[in-house]
Structure 1
Amino acid sequence: MDVKGPQALTCPTFDYARPESFYKDNSTVLSIVRDEIFRNQSAIKLSGAVQVKTDVYDDDPSVEADPEYWESKFKPFHEYLEQTFPKVWKHFKIETANSWGLVITWEGSNSSLKPILLTAHQDVVPTQDSTIKDWTYPPYDGIYDGERLWGRGSADCKNLLIGLLEAAETLFESGFKPKRTIIFGFGFDEEIGGPRGASAIGQLLLQRYGKDSFYAVVDEGGQSLAEENDVLLALPGAGEKGSVDVIIGLNTPGGHSSVPPDHTSIGIISQLVEQFEANPFKSIFTPKNPTFHEYQCIALHSPTLEEDIKIAILSAEYDKHSNEKAIEYLYNKSLLSRYLIGTSQAIDIIHGGAKSNALPEYVEIDVNHRVAIESTVDEIVQRDLKLVSLVAHKFDLGIIYEGDEIKKKTTKGYFTVRKASSLEPAPPTPTSGRAWELFAGNIRHLYEEVAFSASDHPQHGKRIVVAPGIATGNTDTRYYWDLTRNIYRYRPGVSTSVEAHAHGVDENIPFDSHLQVIAFYFEYLQLVDDERDE
């Protein structure tokens, strides 16, 4: 295959990364994934966590405005964690940020080493009363059937929170004494953006340790295992798209509907919606996006991907025609692959009109964008303003953007445009260097040498290709960007959160996935403990 570019760097292979304890005595990590007694005890812990209802809502008050509200939700959960992990509560430092964010510190013996931060969130999305009848088991019963554990939060992400604490307590019981300080940060409103929980935790840690002071931050996200074109991939999230909600309002004169103008405000804004949907953002396929490297790995290793697509993907960085062909392939492959390589737009909310015989004086739409890695929030908003300007010119309307009149109001009315919320694309995580190699090597070690090591396992003998991925949603890591560049969004397990019905009816976790979380961190925390900072 005649392909331009240094193939040796296209998809580097990572050696297994094993802690010293694995060579001396691997019985503990193997018992985590194989021992029936450990499995059943672990199921009891996760089941109990699911049974404590910690749902949050978009319109929840601040902690200061209604402290009793938050206490009623999270005090029982904190009490459950203390009861379930008594050694952690006795021997580690337990702090709170903004009352209900948990910061748990396992002090290391070498203060010259940067600490590591491992995160998860305590909150869950609500369940709708109308769907309760559709659940196999009640959503807060935490039923374990021997293969799966069912209930809200079982997959997103009480399994990660409980798994981290199980790994820590298992390490403590094995006699492990860290040189590198280990910190657990558990926010309590990630599902509504984290402004109360992870935000306070990030501020606390930044004030205490300073900027760029952490070895790494590890949070939920990424794709645990994904099979694409017969390649078994692990895809730690090495980036996140940005996001912005653009609120566009239209003010027009009112009046009686018996004498309507040619176009009411609803009709005009409908034409704007049509403009949006007729002008999607162009896809972009560049090495700035972790998805670029993911598909280069697929192209290099797949036995089934068409040869011309392989060549296009592998040559996309250097050849315009190949880049266009790779984009066409990803655009048509699926909605997911389409929007991993470009900015999305969705008209999610529309309001307008109050009465059938009164002309609507104000209508409003909410346009949600997930911003491509290569773009910025301002670029997206400026494009939206161009579409608004086209419609404003057609109907002789003014435009006010963020309070500034950029096109003079007229007697026919005017548009208002503002950002309701925005987040720039995340800083890129380095995918070269020792820290990334250790993380990737531990993933291969976990699956190939621990979880799939039994000869009768259906995945036994399969090779895992570790490549950077991009998180499809945003996580609490937005509040930890200043702590380190090494931010890994990855939760081990044989099932992705989508497959586990996270946020939906019948949320569940294959229990092997939960045990793999514990095993992964049991090994990884030992690995990074022996590393000097880069």
Structure 2
Amino acid sequence: MPPLSNEKLATSSRTTTRLPPVVWCGLIVIVTLLSFHVRPFISLHLIAQYEEAGTKICPQVDNLFPERNAETWAGARERTASEAFKMRAIDWLAGAVRIPTESFDDMQAVGVDPRWDVFATFHAYLAQAFPLVHGNLKLRKINTYGLLYEWRGSNESLKPVLLTAHQDVVPVDPSTADSWDHPPYSGYFDGTRIWGRGTIDDKNGLIGILAAVESLLQIGFTPTRTFVMAFGFDEEVNGLEGAAQLAKTLLATYGEDSFAFILDEGAGLIEMFGIVAAFPCVAEKGYLDVVVEVTSPGGHSSIPPDHTSIGMLAAMIVEYEDNPHQLQLSRESTPYRTVQCLAKYSPTMSPAAKRLVADAAHSDAALAALGALLSKDPLYRTQIGTTTAVDVVRGGVKSNALPEAAYAIVNHRILAESSVAAVRAHDTALLAPLAVRFNLTYTAFDVDISSPGARASGMLALRDLDAASALEPAPLTPTDGPDAAPYQLLSGSIRAAYAARRAAGGERGNYTVPVVPSTMLGNTDTRYYWALSRHIFRYGHGNSAGRGPEDAQKGMHTTNESIDADDLVEGIRFFVMLVLNADEWLMV
């Protein structure tokens, strides 16, 4: 049997398996691990000293309320606080959920595969639901179903802002339909929550953006800064038809580094360690799918060799799992900064854990101990290392025939401090001894590793699954220093929106929420937008809206996906706040 082609592998090609927002940002495990008392490495290092030194650790900006746009904000705040607006927001999202814009791994090109046609129905719904948006903004459709809105501002010297979301949803497995409390495409509202596929991934974000713009247009607001909205339609399966094509148009229209900042889906407000914190993701891991293929002579299974293709491949799979990438918790990494922020602002984290986090800033031994502690949980381990998962195995066609070929697809999520080249080099070196042991010729990523002229009893080959497989870790978004103005704008808007909801609800107290930079473990449509801005954020303000991390991921990519109606409204209010603040802030 000849080596398997990429075409033959297409049916096994990856789904862009995206983790729930909370899992993306690796937060649940921090709660578990750092709640325990750990032995301090420097016993005399007092918490008071840490707090004094911590003034430069995880600094927070003040709540940022619109000033020049204060009157507009007052009108929008009053409008979004009404029960009538809440019911309208529910109807907006419920109507979007009722249109099953599913995307599948095996989708063919637009114009060829009729399963794309449902997006035309979705577009008609959006035009009907948001008449002011479609009457006042310029709309271009890219590759038929990609939506690109432009809300032209009066001052073209200001960089525009790009707000993004995706129209597609993960398909509902028909065998699970009876497991839903309410039908998955019903948009059912039970008096508290809206139910259905897309309510938290990501039609809530798309509807939130359009609802915010529609509301501002109703008030009569006209922007000074240009705002652009880009909505892809195949984010769940790699984004090549949607965001990739939108990115080409955006780059041709606006140019490189042309946007003040970009905001896409991500984690939101989570309660842990006695506080509610916001977790915008400012880093995103890379991605690589590697095909490991072994070929050897076939024949009748009554006369087997010592090792069949499947047996040799099994040894290689074991080698992968027994030799993971080395974990790296560095002081410059986003995961360390995440833990620093939690240690600084949490009133309930154990003093010993706080000391360990503080000591790690200057003690290599403490840093190693903190990394070892965090790595005990599989979830946080993914934050501080490149991961390896053998996800697909194929080989053999008949029980009495020796397999001529067998292959596995190995998925890597690449640490921000690493690279695609480093992962390829790791894999190449890892399997080299097995190629020698089994007497296989060895080709790795188009490079012949075998000794010239060597006789072999088979072949081992490593290669990328497809051209779209390799993705470098995303550039890190600045969060401090002279280039951090967009992060400060986002942070101040998050804090102000959080305070506005609590004040509107009659709550008393200091409505502050620390903003904690975090890392995205999965990949979003922003992978195609790197050239457009150095400031890319992955954040969903309405996601969980201050409940525990376990609640934030319920229903994501599974049964009973739903969102609290008050969270939906808070997400809309956040987009209003962000637009008004970005419109008047000349620093970005």
The TM-score with structure 2 as length reference comes to 0.86
Alpha-carbon offset, residue 34 of structure 1 = 3.3
Q: Tell me how far apart the structure 1 counterparts of residues 575 and 497 of structure 2 sit (CA, whole Å).
A: 10
Is structure 2 residue 493 aligned with structure 1 residue 442?
A: yes
Identity of aligned residues (%): 38
Q: Please give the per-residue CA displacement for 1:27-57, whole angstroms capped at 9, x wherever unaligned.
A: 5444455321111111111111001111011
Map 1:482-521 → 2, pairs under 5 A = 482-493=531-542, 495=544, 498-521=552-575
Provide closer, same or farther for how the CA distance between residues 103 and 454 of structure 1 changes in structure 2, counting only shifts above 3 A.
closer
Q: 1:467 aligns with which of 516, 539, 542?
A: 516
Contact 2:154 2:223 in 1 (8 A): yes
Gaps of 5+ in 1: none
Q: 1:14 aligns with which of 39, 61, 67?
A: 61
Equivalence for 1:424: 472
Q: Tell me how far apart the structure 2 counterparts of residues 309 and 320 of structure 1 sit (CA, whole Å).
A: 16
Map 1:198-237 → 2, pairs under 5 A = 198-221=243-266, 223-237=267-281
Q: Write the letter of the residue equivalent to 1:451.
A: R
Gaps of 5+ in 2: 1-45
Alpha-carbon offset, residue 193 of structure 1 = 1.1
Alpha-carbon offset, residue 397 of structure 1 = 1.4
Provide closer, same or farther for how the CA distance between residues 231 and 283 of structure 1 changes in structure 2, counting only shifts above 3 A.
farther
Q: Write the letter of the residue equivalent to 2:141.
A: T
Alpha-carbon offset, residue 168 of structure 1 = 0.1
Equivalence for 1:38: 85
Q: 2:349 aligns with which of 263, 283, 305?
A: 305
Q: Tell me how far apart the structure 1 counterparts of residues 303 and 351 of structure 2 sit (CA, whole Å).
A: 64
Provide closer, same or farther for how the CA distance between residues 158 and 357 of structure 1 changes in structure 2, counting only shifts above 3 A.
same
Is structure 2 residue 430 aligned with structure 1 residue 376?
A: no
Is structure 2 residue 214 aligned with structure 1 residue 163?
A: no
Equivalence for 2:390: 347
Is structure 2 residue 568 aligned with structure 1 residue 524?
A: no
Equivalence for 2:295: 251
4+ long deviations beyond 3 Å: 2-6, 21-34, 408-411, 454-457, 459-463
Q: Tell me how far apart the structure 2 counterparts of residues 473 and 365 of structure 1 sit (CA, whole Å).
A: 21
Map 1:140-151 → 2, pairs under 5 A = 140-151=185-196
Alpha-carbon offset, residue 26 of structure 1 = 5.3
Provide closer, same or farther for how the CA distance between residues 455 and 218 of structure 1 changes in structure 2, counting only shifts above 3 A.
closer
Equivalence for 1:73: 118
Q: Write the letter of the residue equivalent to 1:411.
A: A
Equivalence for 1:400: 443
Q: Write the letter of the residue equivalent to 1:45.
A: W
Alpha-carbon offset, residue 157 of structure 1 = 0.5
Provide closer, same or farther for how the CA distance between residues 83 and 460 of structure 1 changes in structure 2, counting only shifts above 3 A.
farther
29-38 or 192-201, which deviates more: 29-38
Contact 1:311 1:322 in 2 (8 A): no
Contact 2:68 2:584 in 1 (8 A): no
- 1:463 aligns to what SS in structure 2? coil
Q: Write the letter of the residue equivalent to 2:579.
A: L
Equivalence for 1:453: 503
Equivalence for 2:21: none
Contact 1:238 1:469 in 2 (8 A): yes
Alpha-carbon offset, residue 101 of structure 1 = 0.3
Contact 1:235 1:468 in 2 (8 A): yes
Q: Write the letter of the residue equivalent to 1:442.
A: S
Contact 1:137 1:506 in 2 (8 A): yes
Q: 1:266 aligns with which of 310, 315, 333?
A: 310
Query: Size of the alignment, in residue pairs?
Result: 528
Q: Write the letter of the residue equivalent to 1:481.
A: W
Alpha-carbon offset, residue 25 of structure 1 = 7.0
Equivalence for 1:242: 286
Alpha-carbon offset, residue 307 of structure 1 = 2.9
Equivalence for 2:38: none
Provide closer, same or farther for how the CA distance between residues 249 and 472 of structure 1 changes in structure 2, counting only shifts above 3 A.
same
Alpha-carbon offset, residue 6 of structure 1 = 5.1
Equivalence for 1:106: 151
Alpha-carbon offset, residue 192 of structure 1 = 0.7
Alpha-carbon offset, residue 336 of structure 1 = 2.2
Q: Please give the per-residue CA displacement for 1:319-370, whole angstroms capped at 9, x wherever unaligned.
A: 21011111012112x3222211111111101001111111111110111010
Q: Tell me how far apart the structure 2 counterparts of residues 533 and 362 of structure 1 sit (CA, whole Å).
A: 59
Q: Please give the per-residue CA displacement for 1:176-235, whole angstroms capped at 9, x wherever unaligned.
A: 1101001110001000111011111111111111111111111001x2122333232211
Alpha-carbon offset, residue 22 of structure 1 = 7.4
- 2:208 aligns to what SS in structure 1? helix
CA RMSD, Structure 1 to Structure 2 (Å): 2.0
Q: Please give the per-residue CA displacement for 1:120-140, whole angstroms capped at 9, x wherever unaligned.
A: 001111011100010111111
Contact 1:493 1:517 in 2 (8 A): yes
46-55 or 280-289, which deviates more: 280-289
Q: Tell me how far apart the structure 1 counterparts of residues 360 and 462 of structure 2 sit (CA, whole Å).
A: 37
247-256 or 302-311, which deviates more: 302-311
